Chain A
Amino acid sequence: MTLTQQIITVSMVILATVITRFLPFIIFPAGKETPKFIKYLGKVLPAAVFGLLVIYCLKNVSIMDGSHGIPELIAILCVVAIHLWKRQMLLSIATGTVVYMLLIQLVF
């Protein structure tokens, strides 16, 4: 690929990304009344998207082979247990990550 072709390709990547970010704000501008259905989606979507993001992070975990997702399961249970106990976001995340790293580096 020549430099010009590279620049065009990267510009396309930028343009497509910018469109996905700005489109909702362009279609539903702040000054105008947002349709009720979109307002409803705006309220209920976050909870669903947080669930989607959890699954997205785990998408390459394979239950059938390798370590069968056991390190992920143990680490997530740690995160949940510690978070329910202390409700300290950073502590829960740090502990879960360290547990996971130890599990895959030393155990599995």
Chain B
Amino acid sequence: MDNEKGIIGRSLRAAFPYTVPILAGFLFLGATYGIYMNVSGFSFLYPMLMSMTVFAGSAEFVAVSLLLSAFDPIQAFLMILMINARHLFYGVSLLEKYAGTGWKKFYLIFGMCDESFSINCSVDIPENVDKGWFMFFVTILNQSYWVCGATLGGIFGSFINFNTEGLDFVMTAMFVVIFLEQWLKEKNHTSSLIGIGLSLVCLIIFGPDKFMIPAMLSIAGVLALVRKPLEKGGAVT
């Protein structure tokens, strides 16, 4: 029999390696955000508290401009709703994964981000590790990297000055690897191709700032259309 402590320790050791790329990416991006707030005239408490409570990169960047413009809470609410709409997709994909994780479920949902979603959704969690604790550590490690980066950036602001140009590519590289792993694992590539193809088409039509919502709607629509053939072909069981 295994004691609780052993399981927790093993889950942490299993989860940490997967979060290393995010450690690099989030410290850097978080610091960029903290510096941005710093030079926009906000105390480090703002990036620190917002990275703890909001914890959604693009929304936090947009929040800076919201705070600097005229007071309009309704517009702020609707804008952030649109920016973070992709979380709905993550939620639908994680309904079953998050089931049965007890009290940890609340934090797993609260701390869900692109990176934690991708890891929790793609990794085959080892058998001797508790899946709830594994996903919990992935989520909380990732958030702590972001909070550290944002706070440090907010405190040291413009003092940080070495050539980090291109370091943000670590996130792109990670998503490419996760996409590739999924591709190698799946028997049927329909969904992968729909995802990448329709996103590209929507990016070309709507441009970088407006393509996410049409991309998500068209992906959901086309996936609904191909449901019968996919289920018939045994791609989905």
Q: Taking beta carbons and an 8 Å cutoff, which residues of A are in contact with B?
A: 1, 5-6, 8-10, 12-25, 28, 30, 34, 37-60, 71-72, 75-76, 79-80, 83-84, 89-90, 92-94, 96-97, 100-101, 103-105
Q: For the complex, would chain A's binding face be called helix, strand, loop or mixed by DSSP majority? A: helix
Most buried by B among A21, A37, A71, A90: A21
Residue B1 CB within 8 A of the other chain: no
Complexed CA–CA distance, A90 and B55 (Å): 24
Complexed CA–CA distance, A94 and B84 (Å): 28
- For the complex of A and B, 5 pairs with smallest distance between CB atoms: A51-B195, A48-B195, A24-B91, A51-B196, A16-B80
For chain B, residues 52 to 80, give those with C-beta under 8 angstroms from any C-beta of chain A.
53-56, 59-60, 63, 66-68, 70-71, 73-74, 76-80
By the criterion CB–CB under 8 Å, are B191 and A53 in contact?
no
By the criterion CB–CB under 8 Å, are B177 and A79 in contact?
yes
Cβ contact of A45, chosen from B54, B179, B211, B223, cutoff 8 A: B223
Q: Which of B5-13, B129-137, B166-174 interfaces with chain A?
A: B166-174
By the criterion CB–CB under 8 Å, are B191 and A48 in contact?
yes
By the criterion CB–CB under 8 Å, are B182 and A47 in contact?
yes
Q: For the complex, would chain B's binding face be called helix, strand, loop or mixed by DSSP majority? A: helix
A91 to chain B, nearest CB (A): 10
**Count of B interface residues, CB-CB < 8 Å:** 98
Q: Taking beta carbons and an 8 Å cutoff, which residues of B are in contact with A?
A: 17-18, 20-21, 24, 49-50, 53-56, 59-60, 63, 66-68, 70-71, 73-74, 76-81, 84-96, 98-100, 105, 109-110, 112, 114, 117-118, 121-122, 163, 165-167, 169-182, 186, 189-200, 203, 208, 211-212, 215-216, 219-220, 223-224, 227, 230-231, 235-236
